[in-house]
Structure 1
């Protein structure tokens, strides 16, 4: 009893001294302990995700991959695996596990080494948030005290959820949600038991136990995890054996991009950085929804890419990327074997839809190639015959007769799958590039945007950053200004050559029509439809350059971008496709200047709304303005969105209506062919290929065809297409006849596609992209031609003089006028001309300026 009492006394004194020491140590280091209260509102660094309007993932920005999950969204199997291996008494201890501490102490006494840390999940959380991973005594003491604090502030479930979402699990995956995506490319709820155990095994050492860097060690660790789950009774023996023997099928997965639209994603990223700053934008977990839907974006990309290939192919083949070996019939020793070819191809980039391939065999009118996947593909004559030699931008070589005229074995080439023909074909990276913008003219929401052929080849966004001369795309704004200054659609203009001495330059300025055909007296409607250059100059002179610039500024154009000389009327101003499309939207919506925007809404990481776009909108031209305002306000209230102000009215509805009318005849033309009154507008291809009456548009081409445009509207869209070279000194040139291309596309010859012949211009180069897009985008969309505004009247006029007429035959037509500007005089018999009785043939025109 004596020794027992002594032993109890020693134990009691030791306990008292230990408690006093522990309390003293706590108060000694308490000033150094961080506040754990921040864990109540902790915000995990989560990457920004960008989605299309219909919810497809476009891109993800941020170094750390994290998918925050509520605890009830994490599979029970993973939670059980973590608890079994990391802290089996997690729900029983107060943040510090005495049994674990004793086990670690015993291990230290026996081995003399700190082999076990006795860390609980709470202690690991404390270390991850507040401390370094160094194995030091003071760090361990602080870790214990912080863990005790955490247990006072958070519930066990909150601690476990933070732990599972915070921890780094290798390959920049933070948290179990991201790990499931990175290693298996799946939602965590879709993982098997073996895959869940693999993720649980990462917690010990993610850099060395992950299934990508070390699959053998990962499999061994997975077996340990499964064994602990078996010991804890979470799984039975059969489940253990099945999961332990399952193959590890892990590989590194990126974000599951569902819509590849990098130019759009880059624009949204830049706007988010401007709004929140780079670090916050990339780590704040924002879910950003674009105004762009996936259907229209894909259509715009496909139309732009196909159009560039059509242009490029009719100008000829520039040869293979590289000749890897030379082989003659007598010596094939230099040819590479399959392994060499695949090793080389693995180092080559690809730019959808282009894929690198090596020519392995050349037959009479067919070649065989091997691609990056090791597949051998046959490319027949239909996919080769286009490839006559490129000489210059204005000339091409002879058409090939056999495949050897084009390539030889060992050639590294581009190939692409042609969706329209359904075959693989030889291809090349287009030298020319393009841009495309489609807007909702009512609220300015961007519906599609393409900044070039490939973002991965050039990040320069030509849709918003490239200021290029607009050519005849400027003319509708000149004609709109003329309407504001007393001109009408029936005003007679003199389509005759201009010769003007320029005292400053000492030369004569002679603006010309292209082709150089002059019709003499011509109505303003017809002049815009035929894109008569000299008429545009005469209108600028009649209105005055200052008035023209002031009027163009109403459409959002910066006056500093508008040259103060008569070349402005022919399109010498340099604007971006976005600016041009915004200007054309004014004609589409009845005279209102909208502001383009690309973000519809921003949610936080849990899908809760943070911000919603409330753009200024144009009242509907189809109903009375008061009714439109009431309808929009009612809709806004029903959607819990604060209604915004209306877009400013910059031109009258009458002006917008009449300008649109002139642009519609640029597509439909007018008159009667059999009576010699028919004429064709420069945008006639859209009329041939689209059966809609609500289309209106304008072609545009600059001097030497360095820039080509088509802008137009229809249905619920306004869109602009541009094609040119990044090298602004380079002309788009002209093409000679290629009989193969004509035979391949006889129904499209001289309409659209790659079979066109002659000088390149807006109608041939840019308009096909617009047609391809609009034809599909407006399928099933009702025609949306605005009603005649109240301030418009119609009278019958003589086609030649523009005066009133009582005739009702082919020499007359009904014309629209702003009330009070209609003609008051009737055509005299002496003035009357019947085109049917004239010998002059009807001439078609093409738009060059």
Structure 2
């Protein structure tokens, strides 16, 4: 050792004195510089050691929502994620990402000195931070640990975190984390979700051209989106292909063939076309107190293919009804399991992209005469003896109902067939229900008692209050659409509504309390079954192979024709359809439930029952009149309405508000 040092000293002395002094000075300066460098190194290394490396996978733990048959719908969070393994990612996608983001990924220790030098020069000349020179590992660190801002402090922290990641993980692990975390626009995080969003396919099936497109938009996925900015996306794709040639990933011939091809986007609208359903499922997931990733998968009650068809049905139906409607005619479909409350299909409006408000869950509209089956079920529950009792079938002073005002004669608007005429005699409550008679319904309400009837209806768990006037018996109180659909399941389910409606499958399904007696529900249901044979209902039912089925259905409309409804059930499920505007705008002067709501209901019911609904054993016979009609009184304006005496002293519905002298008065509506 000593001889070696002596030789080194002799060689040093052979250098000129000025050179030896310069070398000594440089050595001293280097040693002095190493001290602060060591301090800085220790500071940032210590800072990097405080970060929890579990953050690399924390954002990737996602609960995926699938339909009842296991088909993927989306994720439980607002950001779409579809975690992938590196083995399922095509090699050309991996090479495209490396070519455009970090060509020396497999050789650097977490940071690329060449890239950092190039970025430093660019930042110096621009007098600010314009480039970062970040490697894939640095980008992963920035994304996973939420490092924000364009400062040297953040950059140094990012570099030291990248070095730590490289020490503790393999290159393949780092690349997997990166591919599952990068944001690629349109709510997609990771290449799995992006491949499905942009190209409608699993990531393992995407082509070289599609891989280059995804890699090309990484730096600015919004600005270079192939959906909204196809020209810019193509430019970035072509640049990626050229870089793949430079690193030897593909040949020039392969690149030339790919560059000649257009960017073909098969935008998977599943996330949009099931927007109402998916948004509601996400909200329900949060209410359940669950965290993304626990459990990894949750099943929804609807079927994805039904939702796709339902979306098309809704658009086509509304366009046919009002092709030039500038007020935005909307529609709602709700299909419930009569017992479990599972939402089997749901459409919250015409188009989620333009109107994400979910009317099925949050909408509140007046049911109009569509409420009558519930009113009669409540009345028969309170007083079973009125089932076959005679009721006056004649005009009614509007003071009893207060529909649209205080004066005039309450008109008949609930029936869908020919203009309603009074018999001039008596009818049974079931006949009044069958024909949607408004005057008879109000009389029944007074006979049973408005307060008891209101309380009985409230047992259906309506969260909106019922009006204090008799107008509530004619559906003039607003109700949530989902609550109305649930209440109707009690008609099909022997007086018990279904469990609380839900979209996500869970082990709990508490049984509901009885709101109607089984006998009352049966009487109303049989009447609804009979009502399905009405001539005005025949065409859509025949078209959808439902005309000969024992289905309990009922249509209704508000007196000003702003809302049209059809609700029907078999033994298994109940389907509600609503058509109207978000504001009180008439659908049309001649709108009826049969023409506006029934056609869509029939199409949906055929779909969800496969054309084979599980109806009841036999059709009910139509309720008969208890008295031969004395005369028919058309409901028209400017008609003097004579008083109609009851057929006997036991007839229900004596009118305490009937004027001593009937005078000409306007009809409402």
Q: Same fold (TM over 0.5)?
A: yes
Q: Tell me, in whole angstroms, the C-alpha distance in 2 between the residues paired with 1:207 and 1:511.
A: 59
Q: Is the 8 A contact 2:366 2:476 kept in 1?
A: yes
2:569 to 713, 738, 754: 713
In structure 1, the residue matched to 2:392 is: 495
Q: Is the 8 A contact 2:310 2:347 kept in 1?
A: yes
Q: Give CA-to-partner distance per residue, 1:773-829, whole Å, 9 cap, x none.
A: 3244434435332799xxxxx9x9996669xxxxxxxxxxxxxxxxxxxxxxxxxxx
Q: 1:494 to 1:441 in 2, by over 3 A?
A: same
Q: Is the 8 A contact 1:585 1:718 kept in 2?
A: yes
TM-aligned CA deviation for residue 35 of structure 1:
2.5
Q: 1:292 to 1:429 in 2, by over 3 A?
A: farther
1:541 to 446, 467, 478: 446
TM-aligned CA deviation for residue 178 of structure 1:
5.7
The answer on 1:264 being equivalent to 2:277 is yes
2:169 to 154, 178, 187: 154
Classify the secondary structure of the residue corresponding to 2:525: helix
1:573 to 443, 466, 477: 477
In structure 2, the residue matched to 1:662 is: 527
1:771 to 581, 602, 605: 602
Q: Tell me, in whole angstroms, the C-alpha distance in 1 between the residues paired with 2:310 and 2:74.
A: 18
In structure 1, the residue matched to 2:368 is: 471
TM-aligned CA deviation for residue 193 of structure 1:
4.5
Give the structure, 1 or 2, with the largest relative contact order (CA under 8 Å, sep 6 or more). Answer: 2
Classify the secondary structure of the residue corresponding to 1:42: helix
Q: Tell me, in whole angstroms, the C-alpha distance in 2 between the residues paired with 1:467 and 1:208.
A: 39
Q: Give CA-to-partner distance per residue, 1:568-591, whole Å, 9 cap, x none.
A: 333333224323221111111222
Q: Is the 8 A contact 2:96 2:212 kept in 1?
A: yes
2:205 to 157, 182, 190: 190
Unaligned runs of 5+ in 2: 1-6, 14-22, 413-418, 628-667
Q: Give CA-to-partner distance per residue, 1:62-117, whole Å, 9 cap, x none.
A: 897765432222233444566678767766765468xx57x9889999xx999999
In structure 1, the residue matched to 2:493 is: 589
Structure whose residues are more often strand by fraction: 1
Unaligned runs of 5+ in 1: 313-413, 415-426, 601-611, 617-644, 669-679, 735-759, 789-793, 803-847
Q: Is the 8 A contact 1:183 1:212 kept in 2?
A: no
Classify the secondary structure of the residue corresponding to 1:229: coil
2:426 to 518, 521, 531: 521
Q: Is the 8 A contact 2:361 2:481 kept in 1?
A: yes
Q: Tell me, in whole angstroms, the C-alpha distance in 2 between the residues paired with 1:548 and 1:778.
A: 34
In structure 1, the residue matched to 2:90 is: 75
Q: Is the 8 A contact 1:452 1:462 kept in 2?
A: yes
Q: Tell me, in whole angstroms, the C-alpha distance in 1 between the residues paired with 2:580 and 2:438.
A: 21
In structure 1, the residue matched to 2:644 is: none
Q: Tell me, in whole angstroms, the C-alpha distance in 2 between the residues paired with 1:107 and 1:566.
A: 77
Correspondences of 1:328-343 after superposition (within 5 Å): none
Q: 1:682 to 1:572 in 2, by over 3 A?
A: farther
The answer on 1:229 being equivalent to 2:239 is no
In structure 2, the residue matched to 1:219 is: 238
TM-aligned CA deviation for residue 730 of structure 1:
3.8
In structure 2, the residue matched to 1:613 is: 506
In structure 1, the residue matched to 2:342 is: 445
Count, aligned residues: 593
Q: Tell me, in whole angstroms, the C-alpha distance in 2 between the residues paired with 1:526 and 1:273.
A: 47
Classify the secondary structure of the residue corresponding to 2:53: helix
Q: Tell me, in whole angstroms, the C-alpha distance in 1 between the residues paired with 2:12 and 2:101.
A: 40
Q: Tell me, in whole angstroms, the C-alpha distance in 1 between the residues paired with 2:623 and 2:102.
A: 94
Q: 1:168 to 1:12 in 2, by over 3 A?
A: farther
Q: Tell me, in whole angstroms, the C-alpha distance in 2 between the residues paired with 1:774 and 1:471.
A: 22
TM-aligned CA deviation for residue 219 of structure 1:
3.3
Q: 1:548 to 1:33 in 2, by over 3 A?
A: same
Q: Is the 8 A contact 1:226 1:244 kept in 2?
A: no
In structure 2, the residue matched to 1:44 is: 59
Classify the secondary structure of the residue corresponding to 2:547: coil
The answer on 1:646 being equivalent to 2:646 is no
* Root mean square deviation, CA, Å: 5.2
Correspondences of 1:147-546 after superposition (within 5 Å): 147-167=162-182, 175-177=190-192, 187-193=202-208, 196=211, 212-213=231-232, 215=234, 219-220=238-239, 222-229=241-248, 239-247=251-259, 249=261, 251=263, 253=265, 256-258=268-270, 260-268=273-281, 271=284, 290-298=300-308, 300-301=310-311, 303-309=313-319, 311-312=321-322, 432-456=329-353, 458-488=355-385, 491-497=388-394, 510-511=409-410, 513=412, 515-518=420-423, 520-546=425-451
2:465 to 542, 561, 578: 561
Q: Tell me, in whole angstroms, the C-alpha distance in 2 between the residues paired with 1:200 and 1:75.
A: 13
Q: Tell me, in whole angstroms, the C-alpha distance in 2 between the residues paired with 1:92 and 1:687.
A: 70
Q: Tell me, in whole angstroms, the C-alpha distance in 1 between the residues paired with 2:158 and 2:406.
A: 86
Q: Tell me, in whole angstroms, the C-alpha distance in 1 between the residues paired with 2:239 and 2:310.
A: 50
TM-aligned CA deviation for residue 510 of structure 1:
4.5
Q: Is the 8 A contact 1:464 1:578 kept in 2?
A: yes
Q: Give CA-to-partner distance per residue, 1:625-662, whole Å, 9 cap, x none.
A: xxxxxxxxxxxxxxxxxxxx323333333332222122
Classify the secondary structure of the residue corresponding to 1:447: strand
2:50 to 31, 35, 42: 35
TM (norm. structure 2) is 0.70
Q: Tell me, in whole angstroms, the C-alpha distance in 2 between the residues paired with 1:702 and 1:142.
A: 66
Classify the secondary structure of the residue corresponding to 2:58: coil
